[in-house]
Amino acid sequence: MQLEADRAPDEQRVALITGAGRGLGAAIARELAPDHRLLLGARTPAGLESILAELPGATGWPVELTDYAAVAAATGPIDRLDVLVHNAGIADLGTIAESSVRQWRETLEANLIAVAELTRLLLPALRAAGGHVVLVNSGAGLRANAGWASYAASKFGLRAFGDALRLEEPSLRVTSVHPGRIDTDMQRAIVAGEGRAYEPDQFLRPETVARAIRTAIDTPRDAHPTEIVLRPW
């Protein structure tokens, strides 16, 4: 097993970030870019054009995460991975009375099942590096509010997945990050659906959450940052 101590002094760490085309994912990419070789994920190449132009040293990794044959093909060439940041996800909100089987399936598929499968496929590469898995969860992974049932269920499940992975893979570090609402395009859509005016100052800045993730990744190996909870001030 190749651990951090086995890495050449000038060898860059490798990080894969899903949902990296904009918002929090792009902020995480900017935070890690100075000293990581980045693989930046999105559904399509077009979704990565802007961030790749900004970070020319990064490599695009466009794949639909719920297309498991495509994910298996895309992960095949990755033989060592120091950091895996699961940031991609969806928020299709509504009351239980208004929900559908399709909504529940798509939410659980995107926010939980795809995460589990991508992690499973990358375990050999993560083990080879003594890697770090970062799960971008939510405050909804700690408590469920009215109108958020399917989303919260997916995030509660994501937390359970992280807890199990941490115990099953003792050579890896696994951090669940539970931010409150973040100022992103997704948040704008959520607030519009709530029928409220959008006030950016009410929400966390993506850069703030990205910095917290960076701090977890940089924590010395004698400590295991298992959970980070952030709330807007």
- CA gap 60, 84 in Å, rounded: 15
Please determine, for residue 148, whether its predicted confidence score (pLDDT) is greater than 70.
Answer: yes
With cut-offs at 50, 70 and 90, classify the pLDDT of residue 195: confident
> Across all residues in the chain, what is the average pLDDT?
94
The percent of residues in the chain predicted with pLDDT above 70, rounded, is: 96
Burial, 116: exposed, middle or buried (Cβ in 10 Å; 0-12, 13-18, 19+)? middle
Angle at the Cα of 23 from the Cα atoms of 18 and 25, rounded to 5 degrees: 25
- CA gap 25, 42 in Å, rounded: 10
Boundaries of every domain in the chain: 13-230
- CA gap 146, 127 in Å, rounded: 40
Chain segment 89-135, per-residue pLDDT in tens:
999 999 999 999 999 999 999 999 999 999 999 999 999 999 999 99
User: Would you call 15 helix, strand, or coil by DSSP?
Assistant: strand
**pLDDT attached to residue 215:** 98
182, 206 contact by CB (below 8 A): yes
Looking at CATH, the fold of the domain delimited by 13-230 is given as Rossmann fold (3.40.50)
Question: Active-site residues: which are they?
Answer: 151
| pTM of the full structure | 0.92
Mean pLDDT of 53-60: 97
Please determine, for residue 24, whether its predicted confidence score (pLDDT) is greater than 50.
Answer: yes
pLDDT, greater one: 199 or 128: 128
